[in-house]
Amino acid sequence: MTDSLLQSKVPQGAIGDKWDNYKADMKLVNPNNKRKFKVIVVGSGLAGASAAATMAELGYDVEVFTFHDSPRRAHSIAAQGGINAAKNYRGDGDSVHRLFYDTVKGGDFRSRESNVHRLAQVSLNIIDQMVAQGVPFAREYGGMLDTRSFGGSQLQRTFYARGQTGQQLLLGAYQQLARQIGLGTVKLWNRVELVDTVLVDGRCAGIVTRDLVTGEVRSHAAHATVMCTGGYGNAFFLSTNAMNCNVTAAWRAHRKGAYFANPCYTQIHPTCIPQADDTQSKLTLMSESLRNDGRVWVPLNAGDERPAAQIPEAERDYYLERLYPSFGNLAPRDISSRAAKRAVDSGRGVGPLKNGVNLDFKDAIARLGADIVKERYGNLFEMYERITGENPYAEPMRIYPASHYTMGGLWVDYELMTTIPGLYAAGEANFSDHGANRLGASALMQGLADGYFVLPYTIGNYLAPMLGKSIPGVDHPEFKAAEQAAHRRFQGFLDIGGTRSPDHFHRELGKIIWDYCGMERTEEGLNKALSELPALYEEFKTDLRVTGDGASVNQTLEKAGRVEDFFELGMVMCRDALERRESCGAHFRAEYQDAEGEAQRNDEDFAHVAAWEYTGDPMQSVRHKEELEFETIHLAKRSYK
Ligand SMILES: Cc1cc2nc3c(=O)[nH]c(=O)nc-3n(C[C@H](O)[C@H](O)[C@H](O)COP(=O)(O)OP(=O)(O)OC[C@H]3O[C@@H](n4cnc5c(N)ncnc54)[C@H](O)[C@@H]3O)c2cc1C
């Protein structure tokens, strides 16, 4: 049964009418009254920039916070391959329903139908919005917007700007944000980190921040607060995320009462450059778009040491094409990642450490010519060559799965509100739309859907009844208490005086999570992680060394706070993975697989969202359920064969 706090507020009506019904019934704020409401937006990536710019354009008084020096540095800038939309420009049979269906199926039937349908509906608006802003999407010869395929779909619905789609989209959203900053409707706080969320009388009253240059701790009050703070993929230490991505904002809200949903749903992306040595601190993505033309293979026989060019066709295993003929190299990420792991585990890995598989463009170059391949993927090929010293036009790229995206996040209802009234979450920071596995090119779509087309409506529904009522100011005792707690916490890190850096602990913690809560999980491994993590956390608390002081730029001190939050999250991730006794999407429990090694869901017991409540000790967090109801799409075994 669904827990009473997890009411999803899904509107009445047929699936295709729900969003229209919501908008027809929601409360409105008069344009002249909007400026009386202050809205805090934490994060300036695609979700944050679009939400802040749109709400400011509507007339709200908006403040934006980012720990970067410029909003343009948000991790969204790194997105490469593209953004989905059900435009059907290709005439290949796409529709809102198909995008909805593909996304629910791609997430292995573990997402809320109503949210996903709305996402598919507003995907149409996103492309128009971004084109109107001048985003230079790729175009066909005739001038129409070009599209390509991404995993988990048999259509070409992915719009792109070479391998720099996130960059171009963020520049578009940032332009609009900058316009509002210029108009004075948005106040930007940069190089400032959220360190706490403040509740007064059960609603979110604002946030507490720490200035990363001066160390100043300061409170900010608002009528409503929106977390657009990205995902937690860096919990694994090695990931494709920007180095600064972290869970702190979401976790600090979680500690104050926002439930954290499905933390064990983490996406391991199949096409990343394999790790080169043990000291590496970052992994690089090679976009999924490359699988439109690249063919994935390993030698047929284990231990084959020959260079790729010397291995004849008959001695190659194009395993994705063999196992999943309908989707081939564009099988979804969870499935492709596991297949790559199995190939490497069977001794057929390639490269100096035998820890990769081939992504080969030989056939595409022969068919299309090197110029066309360069036009489509040139910047990715260049990036690959710079990192590996190998020329992917002449020999296959080597790729291997790596942590990339997190489907879990703050639990939100249909309005994107967390379990704390007045606190919202959007973009990768919430859990909302991707179930147990996100399809490629759907994160940018979701971030922009949330920011441009959902929040600006739903937030008004919350604010309208607050008109004329005063809100607590920053002199309220709850703000003062949170400021003091923040001071104590950061001073506490400085005072430990131990011997090991935050980075050391992050690496060790990430390894435990990767080994036991990564691509494959078992009850035994998860229990091991749950005994090792608290022990390592104790060492962190007594042996951490943070140099410098708290009153000037101190990245080691910043990192200490972020690593501490990763420790707590890591424990809840493993507990979530342990409790979910089934395999679904990216959550693969080795005990639950069919004869062909595919994920075996248990719909009877686990067709629900798991949302965790903080109790003061992450090992004692309480698991709540939101039952998922499938009224439009029938639960079925997910197959890409
Ligand atoms: C290499 C790579 C390529 C990708 N390519 C694609 C793609 O082609 N298509 C696709 O759909 N998706 C892609 N993704 C996923 C996609 O980029 C992200 O999911 C998406 O950009 C997240 O956007 P966001 O706005 O939610 O968060 P982000 O862009 O991560 O922004 C987070 C913001 O929050 C701020 N912030 C965080 N914590 C705090 C704090 N405590 N205090 C103050 N500010 C804070 C940061 O400063 C930042 O401004 C890719 C991901 C990676 C890693």
Is the shortest distance between the CB of 452 and ligand 1 below 6 Å? Answer: no
Amino acid at 410: L
Does residue 342 have an active-site annotation?
A: no
Q: Is the pLDDT of residue 1 over 90?
A: no
pLDDT-derived band at 66, boundaries 50, 70, 90:
very high
Is the shortest distance between the CB of 241 and ligand 1 below 6 Å? Answer: yes
Is the shortest distance between the CB of 248 and ligand 1 below 6 Å? Answer: yes
Within 13 Å and on the Cβ side, how many CA atoms surround 2? 13
Is the shortest distance between the CB of 50 and ligand 1 below 6 Å? Answer: no
Which ligand 1 atom is nearest residue 241's CA? Answer: 53
pLDDT digits (tens, 9 = 90+) for 197-237: 999 999 999 999 999 999 999 999 999 999 999 999 999 99
pLDDT value at residue 151: 87
The residue annotated as part of the active site, out of 333, 398, 575, 589, is 333
| 73 Cα: distance to centroid of ligand 1 (angstroms) | 10
State which of 46, 76, 273 you would mutate to test the pocket of ligand 1, scoring each by most atoms of that ligand within 8 A of its C-beta: 76
Task: Report d(CA 447, CA 165) in Å as an integer.
Answer: 13
Is the shortest distance between the CB of 441 and ligand 1 below 6 Å? Answer: yes
Average pLDDT of span 548-565: 97
pLDDT-derived band at 620, boundaries 50, 70, 90:
very high
Average pLDDT of span 385-394: 96
Which ligand 1 atom is nearest residue 194's CA? Answer: 42
pLDDT-derived band at 640, boundaries 50, 70, 90:
confident
Q: Is the pLDDT of residue 322 over 90?
A: yes
Which residues lie below 8 Å from residue 358, measured CB to CB, with a gap of 6+? Answer: 296, 297, 298, 308, 350, 396, 397, 398, 399
pLDDT value at residue 542: 98
Average pLDDT of span 606-610: 98
Is the shortest distance between the CB of 153 and ligand 1 below 6 Å? Answer: no
Task: Report d(CA 552, CA 466) in Å as an integer.
Answer: 39
Nearest CA to ligand 1 atom 20: 76
Query: Of 67, 39, 64, which is closest to residue 211 (Cα–Cα)?
Result: 67
Is the shortest distance between the CB of 425 and ligand 1 below 6 Å? Answer: no
| 231 Cα: distance to centroid of ligand 1 (angstroms) | 7
| 246 Cα: distance to centroid of ligand 1 (angstroms) | 10
| 48 Cα: distance to centroid of ligand 1 (angstroms) | 10
pLDDT value at residue 2: 81
pLDDT-derived band at 421, boundaries 50, 70, 90:
very high
| 230 Cα: distance to centroid of ligand 1 (angstroms) | 5
Number of H helices, E strands in the chain: 18, 20
pTM above 0.95, yes or no: yes
pLDDT digits (tens, 9 = 90+) for 533-549: 999 999 999 999 999 99
CA–CA–CA angle 218, 221, 227 (5° rounding): 90
Is the shortest distance between the CB of 217 and ligand 1 below 6 Å? Answer: no
**120-124 LR contacts (CB < 8 Å, sep 24+):** 120/86, 120/96, 121/16, 121/19, 121/96, 122/19, 122/449, 122/452, 122/453, 122/454, 123/84, 123/85, 123/86, 123/87, 123/96, 123/99, 123/445, 123/449, 124/85, 124/86, 124/87, 124/96
Query: Of 524, 503, 521, which is closest to residue 513 (Cα–Cα)?
Result: 521
Q: Is the pLDDT of residue 460 over 90?
A: yes
Average pLDDT of span 560-573: 98
| 405 Cα: distance to centroid of ligand 1 (angstroms) | 9
What is the percent of the chain where pLDDT is above 90? 94
* Cβ proximity of 200 and 472 under 8 Å: yes
Task: Report d(CA 314, CA 85) in Å as an integer.
Answer: 39
